[in-house]
Amino acid sequence: MSATSGEIAENLVRVRERIELAALRTGRRPEEITLIAVSKTQSARKIQELYEAGARHFGENRVQERESKLAHLAGLDATWHMIGHLQKNKTSKAARLFSSIDSVDNLALAEKLDRARGEFNAESANTSLAASEPLLAASGNRLRVLIEIKLDPEPAKSGADADELPRLVEGILRLPNLELGGLMGIPPYVDDPEDARSYFRRLRALRDAMRAQLGAEALPVLSMGMSHDFEIAIEEGATEVRVGTALFGQREGT
Ligand SMILES: *Cc1c(COP(=O)(O)O)cnc(C)c1O
């Protein structure tokens, strides 16, 4: 069921408690973990409510949906993440509407985002930017990206194959308007979240292997874990969890 007014704030408290406990279980500091509230299909009113309860990171999976809610949420000082598959013809908008693209899975897409963010930064630096155009993303800085790795063997699922990772990392690190944060991954759906653990481990191992080449500070971000498995993901090293249903209740039509 979709959460009602008041329930959303309570859900946030509960999810935060669970994040804290999962972190402490494995000797991690809860502050290391960023909660991204996945607001796809949710109304601007509910997003506003979660914001007022304290949420500051939001995830959307469609550029158009972010755009349609924009006017209603213009006053929020929040960080917006694109977490869904991004079509190449939407890169220009995405580079303006989001602070982070968490689902980059090929170099051509990264190159397009780099160019689009460069253009956006140049336009915003020019004070003649139409006052009617709301400032959509924090401009002037680099667009953060995460590389999405395909953890689910199902062919239709998005993400780059693990063996493409070194080439992707090398390519993205050369792009001046992007900042490579780390990796994102979605395990196959399993009834028992414990069964997702090996997939989270694998994503972390891929990151650690890259660190062996790039240095211990490289790729700090591991975005993994959703409503039904975020605690397992945190135990395996997640620094960002993407949680929708546990905050907002069941999405319409699901
Ligand atoms: C919808 C979605 C989520 C959140 O899923 P819940 O099960 O509702 O927490 C997380 N990540 C991605 C990429 C999504 O599309």
pLDDT tens digits, residue range 159-197? 999 999 999 999 999 999 999 999 999 999 999 999 999
- Mean of pLDDT values over 130-136: 46
CB of 187 closer than 6 A to ligand 1? no
Q: Which percentage of the chain shows pLDDT scores above 90? A: 84
More confident residue, 146 or 156: 146
The Å distance, Cα 36 to ligand 1 centre, comes to 10
CB of 186 closer than 6 A to ligand 1? yes
pLDDT of 133: 46
pLDDT of 249: 94
pLDDT of 75: 86
Closest C-alpha to 151, from 104, 201, 210: 201
Length of the chain as a residue count: 254
CB of 83 closer than 6 A to ligand 1? yes
pLDDT band of residue 127 (cuts 50, 70, 90) is low
pLDDT of 4: 73
Q: What is the mean pLDDT of the chain?
A: 93
CB of 201 closer than 6 A to ligand 1? no
Q: Which amino acid type is present at position 84?
A: G
Q: 167-172: which pairs have CB atoms within 8 A and are 24 or more residues apart?
A: 167/107, 168/104, 168/106, 168/107, 168/110, 169/210, 169/214, 169/219, 171/107, 171/110, 171/111, 172/104, 172/107, 172/110, 172/145, 172/147
Instruction: Locate the ligand 1 atom nearest the alpha carbon of residue 103 and give its number.
Output: 13
pLDDT tens digits, residue range 17-30? 999 999 999 999 99
The residue whose CA has the least distance to atom 10 of ligand 1 is 242
| 5-247 classified as CATH 3.40.50.2300 | no
The residue whose CA has the least distance to atom 11 of ligand 1 is 242
Contacts of 89 (CB under 8 A, 6+ apart): none
Assess whether pLDDT exceeds 60 at residue 81: yes
CB of 3 closer than 6 A to ligand 1? no
pLDDT of 2: 72
